[in-house]
Structure 1
Amino acid sequence: MSLLPLPPAFLSPVSPRRRDFQLEAFRQGDDRIASWQLINTLVPTALLWASVPALDAAGGGLRLLLLPVLLLLVLFSARSFALMHDCGHESLFKTRWINRPVGFLLGCLNAIPQHPWSRGHAFHHKHNGNWERYRGPSAVLTLSDYLALSPRQRWFYGLSRHPLMLFPGGCYYLLIRPRIVLVLGVSEWLASMASHLGQKGLIGLTELPALSRNFRSSHWYTSSECIDIFANNLVVLTSWWLMGSWLGHGLFWSCYLLVMTLSAALFLCIFFVQHNFADSYASSNEGWDYQRGALEGSSNLVMPAILNWFWADISFHSIHHLCERIPNYRLRACHEANAALLIGCPKLSLKDFPSSFRYVLWDSEAKKLLTLAEANMSAENTKFK
């Protein structure tokens, strides 16, 4: 990880306050820009999928063109996820009544229920840098919990947090987990209704509608989340059947699995390195500071311009955490307007990604992220004392 040099003003005991930042001027959404972002994401995605059967039927050398087509679909899928993320913050469009249905549509495109995902993501924003409340996308263990594991369990923990696990993890995250959540949630509902009828008998039938409206599953927290999960699964499963009927199920699933697995791995990777890195702010409940979490617990990525376009400028992550209502198309300008106050914030480039993936433990006493090598060394030192 590389850090920009700190000017004397940043090293002073008084850190910049939130009111020192220029934020309000960049919070206003623009429906025209947002609409154009949808068009330049969804139209190319549709055209690329439309080219798949023709290229597959062409055979020979032309069939090899499927590879760049699928690579572009991976990037456009990641971009559609980034736009869905903005809808969850109600920042892509001006109003909630537009962000909500557009977010739902983009969630269906990514095979994930957008509303429950956005509520969970809001929890991350609310507690960023407080590793006692939120342990990151990989749910890292504390150092003490890790040291309490057996050698085999430690090995398995390290394997499960290896960067290569992004691929099966990404496939599970988008394609499998939302379906399992629906099945488990419905099973809980059926068990709850059956238990009620078991206690009340047939007379309890009249109470089932009210009980269903107030039912809270361990897999969703509100009725709106429940509706979103049901509607998303209905649309996604129907779209899978339609796409398979059009392209042929073999061709569709071979392409679709590759695209979704790689795109999920891509945005999970980005999310991970923007919060797990050396010297990331890693507080507990006591003494946690929201602004330090935004400025010191979020890395800003130095990426090629084309990748920033596909990731909707989420690379400017400190500003995003300082004010999540700033739409993606204003993040760069806001970052540049506040450059003097952000000069000491963590900055990562692509070459820093591998080292970031080593930080998969939280030392709750030292309040810092650790690598497995550091934890194992700590275990060895303790054993020989």
Structure 2
Amino acid sequence: MLKYYLYHTGQISTSVHPFVKREFSRQLKPPHPLRKTDFVLMPYIKSSNLRATYQILNTLVPYVLLWLLAVKAASISLWLLPPIIALLILFSLRCFSLMHDCGHYSLFRSKSMNRIMGFLLGVINAIPQYAWSRDHAYHHKTNGDWERYRGVADFLSTEEFSKLDPFKQRLYEVLRHPLMAIPGGFFYLVIKPRLVLIMGVYDFIHHVFTDLKQGSGFNLGQTVSAHQSKHWQSAAEFWDLLFNNICVVGVWIFLSNLWGFGLFWSIYSITLSCSATIFIWIFFVQHIFEGAYAHKTAGWNYVLGAVQGSSYLELPAVLRWFTADISYHTIHHLSERIPNYHLAACHRENCHLLSDVKTLRITNLLDCSQFLLWDAASERLVSIKDIEDRSIEG
């Protein structure tokens, strides 16, 4: 009672030692629904170019050296490759994690440095960083609002699912099985960005020929400005996609000729597929779980979306390093401008407000993977089995 009185009358700020004040504050929850201002976030929204540069170096240098070591080891014995590939997968995962920070403009102080390094890390992982970051920013703006954002795998509502025929329902379930993340990860990184560019260019050429057929006079400048592509949302996104493809395909050709097509693609395919799979799994359990906040747009709350719509993922210290502390996901959702190297400290500072956060482990993936549908009526995630049981009871 004394702590509550001191805290809410303000006397704690002047009459007790700062350490005691901090300890009292940690033990108290605000007497109202959580607001973003309840959290101590601002001191941690401070990027450091020195720490960012160190993180880039301690990631890219080992990654390059591991590739050289893999090629050397392959010339001696293929049995030497598995541990090297395992490390390549982990460093590829860290490259993606740092690219993620660059997309939020939090790794470096400078926006231009984040864009440059984000582009480079995107080339390493074969994905155009600019478009990925835009999509990811939308996820942050709508997390927990299941009318606007349908999770990592475009989940259906129970009503939409019930309208599918049995074959499509089964296909829906199979395509969202955790093991499908392996071919899905390869497609997402290696194939999709190339396919998007090809389809986008094809649509533009089709648009040009349509203008020519109309015979109303062809003006290239007007045609370009009038063309609205469904494959990219801005000119900046197009140029990022184009240059990413040029760099990625150029690297593929160069290294295939240098080290041999079979060796390069064997290591490269395994590395990207596995690192993408791990990241998909991590992202999945951080947002899809029993009791996750899954609201309609009306009445949706950003803070609750962060606190109850994302989990805290318990990872071993080594995996926390390779994933750049993304396991502190609630704090990341409360403020994406906090760089990864401040997330743990910010989490500790605000842990007294995070008792409602779901704690999970990567071993919970199979349990979480059953929640494939959004029930709009109850505003929660449900399993397909739940729907089948309801229909039997009905």
Scaled to the shorter chain, the TM-score interval is: over 0.9
Give the equivalent residue in structure 1 for 2:328.
316
**Shift in alpha-carbon separation, 1:355–1:73, aligned structure 2, 3 A:** same
The aligned counterpart of 1:111 is: 126
Match of 1:262 among 247, 262, 274: 274
Q: Establish whether residue 96 from structure 1 lines up as the match of residue 111 from structure 2.
A: yes
AA of the residue aligned to 1:16: L
Q: Which residue of 2 aligns with 1:57?
A: 75
In structure 2, what is the equivalent of residue 306 of structure 1?
318
Q: Which has the higher contact order (CA 8 A, sep 6+)?
A: 1
**Aligned positions, number:** 369
Contact 2:101 2:107 in 1 (8 A): yes
> C-alpha separation between the residues in 2 aligned to 1:292 and 1:302?
21
Give the TM-score normalised by structure 2. 0.91
- Report sequence identity in percent: 42
Q: Between Structure 1 and Structure 2, whose CA radius of gyration is higher?
A: 2
Q: Which of 208, 211, 218 lines up with 1:193 in the alignment?
A: 208
Please name the residue that 1:121 is paired with. Answer: 136
Partner of 1:79: 94
Give the letter for the 1:223 counterpart: A
Q: Deviations over 1:24-66 (max 9, x none)?
A: 000010000000000010000000000122111112xxx3221
The Cα of 1:86 is off from its aligned counterpart by: 0.5
Which residue does the alignment assign to 2:164?
149
Task: Give the letter for the 2:180 counterpart.
Answer: M
**2:117, 2:384 → 1: CA distance?**
41
Q: In 1, are the aligned partners of 2:313 and 2:328 still within 8 Å (CA)? A: yes
State the shift of 1:213 in Å.
Answer: 4.2
Code of the aligned partner of 2:250? T
Please give the secondary structure, in 2, of the residue aligned with 1:360: strand
Structure 1 residues 345 and 253, CA gap change in structure 2 (3 angstroms): same
Query: Where do 4+ consecutive residues of structure 1 move more than 4 Å?
Result: 7-10
Equivalent residue, structure 1, for 2:221: 209
Return closer, same or farther for 1:153/1:13 CA change in 2, 3 Å cut-off: farther
SS of structure 2 residue aligned to 1:251: helix
**Structure 1 residue 211: Cα displacement:** 2.5
Contact kept in structure 2, 1:280 and 1:368, CA below 8 Å: yes
- In the alignment, the residues of structure 2 paired with residue 334 and residue 134 of structure 1 have an alpha-carbon distance, to the nearest angstrom, of 27
Q: Contact 2:28 / 2:352 at 8 angstroms: preserved in 1?
A: no
CA distance in 2, matches of 1:240, 1:376: 47
Displacement, 1:350? 2.6
* Contact kept? 1:213, 1:223, Cα under 8 Å: no
In the alignment, which residue of structure 2 is the partner of 1:168? 183
Equivalent AA in structure 2 for residue 237 of structure 1: V
TM-score by length of 1: 0.93
Equivalent pair of 1:127/1:290 in contact (CA under 8 Å): yes
**CA RMSD between the two structures:** 1.4
User: Which sits farther off after the overlay, 221-230 or 211-220?
Assistant: 211-220
Partner SS for 1:183:
helix
Aligned pairs for 1:1-385 within 5 A: 14-59=32-77, 63-200=78-215, 203-204=217-218, 207-382=219-394
* Structure 2: runs of 5 or more not aligned: 1-25
Residue deviations 1:308-356, cap 9 Å, x none? 0000000000000000000001000100111111122111113322111
Distance in 2 (alpha carbons) for counterparts of 1:330 and 1:301: 17
1:255 counterpart SS class: helix
